[in-house]
Chain A
Amino acid sequence: MRISTAYQFDTYANNVRLSELKYFDAQNAVMTGRRINKISDDPFGTSVSLNMRSFKAAANQYKANLTIGKGVLSYSESALDEMTTAMRSAYSVAIQAGTDTMDQAARDALASQIDSLQKQLLELANTRGPSGQYIFAGQANDNKPFTVTATPGNNPLTLTSGMYLNYNGDDLDVTVESGPGQTLAVNVKAQNLIKDAYAALDQLKVDLQGGNVSAISGVDIEKVKNAMNAIVKERGNVGTKLHSVATLTDHYTRRIDDLTKTISDVEEVDLSEAIMNYKLAYNAYNAALSVASQGYQLSLLDFIQ
């Protein structure tokens, strides 16, 4: 086959250009660390990467939701904790007053102690969460859920003292989205819990004021104890939920790590491989340049005198 001069020179130039392009691409891969810069670089990889990115973002969001849930649960836990302490104090007051050795003045003093415990309980029942919501109000959590009034309000409970304990919340779950199609209720349905505890304290207070020792020892101690145990039990439930939140959070943390690795596997170059490729491209480019420059120089003209 004849090789025409123009073809020869064009071919040199083309080959040098091609190896330069490969060299440049290899350089680029090492410098940017990215394998996919446009979809067409690897359409399948892009599709994998887009899916993984969306999974990762969702996992991140579920994890963030769990953090929100953890906030509400922690607030509930510490509120229930303090309620337990208050009930325990009331319980020891009841035990103390259950013996007949006390005079009325001492019982009145105990009654006022119970009164302040009642106020504390009410305050705890109206605890606000991380976003200012009332955590014991169900979904209707922008109104103060528990109020004590002289006239009946919403869902009233008539107390021994003749006052009313009203509940303005509802019995619905407050949930966080914890996974695809999964939710986790993070609120404590506290209406009956609080009402029982408050009513028990109220009755104890009235009996103390009335010097009704037999009722205190016969009924009130038991009621206060039951109410306290109910709170302790609920606190246990919250603890279990906090544990499962922690487990799920760990799960998502691991999943996010896995996905991050997968995404980087798909989108980014393996550096050692990229450097190898770069070296190869460098050598090929070098060789092409050297061969072409020798080819350019050779001509019959040099030998004609």
Chain B
Amino acid sequence: MPSPFMGIDIASRALRAFQYSLDVTGNNISNVNTKGYSRQTADLAQTEPTIFYSGQRISLGSGVTVATVYRARDMFLQSRRLDAQAEQGRLDTLVTNLGQVDSTLLEPSENGIGNALTSFFDAWSSLASNPNESASRSQVQMAGQTLANRVRDTYGRLQTLKTQFRSEIETTFDNIDQLTGKIADFNAQIRAAQAGGVTPNDLLDQRDLALQELSKLVNVSTHQFSDGSIAVYTGQVMLVDSGGAIPIPRSYDAAAQTVSNGQFTYRIREGKLAGLFQTVSAIASYQSQLDALANNLRTQVNTLHQTGVNKLSPPTTGLNFFNDSVPQNGAIDFDLAPEVKANPDAIAAGTTGKAGDGGLALILSQLRDTQIASLGNKTFNAYYTEFAANVGSVVDGYKTALSAKTAVLSQIDAQIQSISGVSLDDEMGNMLRFQRSYQAAAKMLNIFDQVTGDLISMVR
């Protein structure tokens, strides 16, 4: 025979369960804007039935209880998100950073190297056609100076960007270590909580959030341990293990996209860090192309110019037009030769020294259409145009890849949100449901109370 107070027990359990459910709903509504929060649901379950004998054994349901508070999370989608986010992080970094490189070239405009190159050869053409005019020489001097300045300035701007991105790499290393430290802390707390038999939903959410942040910086993969903690790797580099966080090796090779701990070398494939490595190595390659441009201009122009006789009094020969040294220094110190810088009359228009001889200037002007072997058989202009167009199409390519990757990421996000996100409409519905259920349970308690009262008054 069950207890006469069983109904009251059932009603009070129901009240408690619905109260909890309302609380969970309230918590969901409160966290509708919390980053990384996963929607929770109170899993209701029947309590153990009461068994009694009334001619035969009868099992009587004893009410409801909250079994667990479940965190809506799809681990597979989460790990896909880690991958997509790492790729997006790399592309985003590249688009932003190389976009800055693109802007430093100031093309297409009157202010770029392309224009200066053309003006330089034009000035020689003008001198070839009018060697008697002293203004022609000044024009060559100015055009040469402008060309040298623009090549040097562009190189310098690239150098500044490279330095900036190198320091950003250090910052990224710091951020990675901070995040892995955080994850290791959460690991410890989660392990402790799980050992106490509790599922710490809030800690799991926060650890996931930290992991998501980390995946923007480097590609990560995880391994789940049975005690609730996770190990985190990027490629083969272990960043977090059960013992705690391991600082990421900081010696790196941007061109090879690797980090090294002195013993092993690991490739970083994705994430902001990989993007920064690629940025730095792209800038270095752009710089070396500018170096090649500067050095070939030096060699080609100087070799010809040395054969000329200038207009100084007395005339001299064998002078360089651009400064030069062995080995050549590239774009970093590209400038006019000091003699030419000091006096435009140091510029030679011909090889005979005659006032009307513009023969050498003509050859120098025709250099514009000469294919230079060490520039891959391209003319100076073609080499530069290809260089500039390449800078642009690299950015353009990354932009396209980025928008594709962003679309993928937002797809994944939509799926994740569909599972884990809080919908206020849902929650309002739930709230009404639990409110009504609570009201019904209260009414039920009221009835049981009356029934019990009636029972007691019977014996009075």
Q: Known: A39-B107, A50-B114. Contact between A129 and B126, CB under 8 A?
A: no
Question: CB distance B114 to A68 under 8 Å?
Answer: no
Chain B residues touching A, range: 35 or more
Contact A177 B362 (CB under 8 A): yes
| Chain B 336-357 residues near chain A, CB threshold 8 A | 350, 352, 354-357
User: Using an 8 Å CB-CB cutoff, how does the interface string of B351-392 with A read, 1 for contact, 0 for none?
Assistant: 010111110001001101100000000000110111011111
**Any A CB within 8 A of the CB of B422:** yes
- Of residues 64 through 112 on chain B, the ones whose CB sits less than 8 Å from some CB of chain A are 99, 102-103, 105, 107-108
Pick the contact of A4: B121, B352, B418, B428 (CB < 8 A): B418
Interface assignment of B117: CB less than 8 Å from any CB of chain A: yes
Q: Does A58 interact with chain B (Cβ within 8 Å)?
A: yes
Tell me if A142 and B132 are in contact (CB < 8 A).
Answer: yes
When chains A and B are docked, how far (Å) is the Cα of A49 from the Cα of B366?
A: 21
Could you tell me the distance between the alpha carbons of A170 and B352 in the complex, rounded to whole angstroms? 12
| Chain B residues within 8 Å of A147, by CB | none
**Contact of B369 with A54 in the complex, beta carbons under 8 Å:** no
B246 contacts A by Cβ under 8 Å: no
Q: Is B393 an interface residue (CB 8 A)?
A: yes
Min Cβ gap A58→B in Å is 7
- Residue pair B421, A5 in contact (C-beta under 8 Å): yes
Set A38, A177, A299: member contacting B129, Cβ < 8 A = A177
B119–A5 touching, CB < 8 Å? no
Selected contact of A3 from candidates B103, B132, B410, B423, CB within 8 Å? B423
List, in ascending order, chain B residues with CB within 8 A of A46's CB. 107-108, 388-389, 392
Chain A residues 15 to 64 lying within 8 A of chain B, measured CB to CB, are 36, 38-44, 46-47, 49-51, 53-54, 57-58, 60-62, 64
For B381-422 the 0/1 string (1 means CB < 8 A from A) is: 110111011111101100100000000001001100111111
Query: Contacts A61-B125, A65-B125, A139-B354 hold; do A54 and B417 have CB atoms under 8 A apart?
Result: no
Residue numbers of B with Cβ under 8 A of A are 32-33, 39, 99, 102-103, 105, 107-108, 114-115, 117-119, 121-122, 125-126, 128-130, 132-133, 350, 352, 354-358, 362, 365-366, 368-369, 381-382, 384-386, 388-393, 395-396, 399, 410, 413-414, 417-426, 428-429, 432
Residues in A neighbouring B388, C-beta threshold 8 A: 39, 46-47, 50
Distance (whole angstroms) from the CB of A1 to the closest CB of chain B: 5
CA distance A47 to B396 in the complex (A): 14
Among the listed stretches A130-138, A155-163, A217-225, which one makes contact with chain B, having 4 or more residues with CB under 8 Å of it? A130-138
Q: Are A53 and B354 in contact, CB atoms less than 8 angstroms apart?
A: no
A304 proximal to B (CB < 8 A): yes
Q: Does A6 contact B (CB under 8 A)?
A: yes
A174 to B132, CA, bound (A): 11
Tell me the bound Cα distance from A40 to B392 in angstroms: 4
Q: State whether the Cβ of A140 lies closer than 8 Å to any Cβ in chain B.
A: yes
CB-nearest residue of chain A to B31: A6
| Min CB gap B354→A, angstroms | 4
Q: Which residues of B contact A139 (CB under 8 A)?
A: 350, 352, 354-357
A-B pairs with beta carbons under 8 Å apart, 24 shown: A2-B419, A2-B423, A4-B420, A5-B422, A6-B33, A7-B421, A38-B99, A39-B102, A39-B391, A46-B389, A47-B386, A49-B108, A50-B384, A54-B118, A57-B115, A57-B122, A64-B126, A68-B126, A140-B354, A170-B354, A172-B354, A172-B356, A176-B128, A176-B129
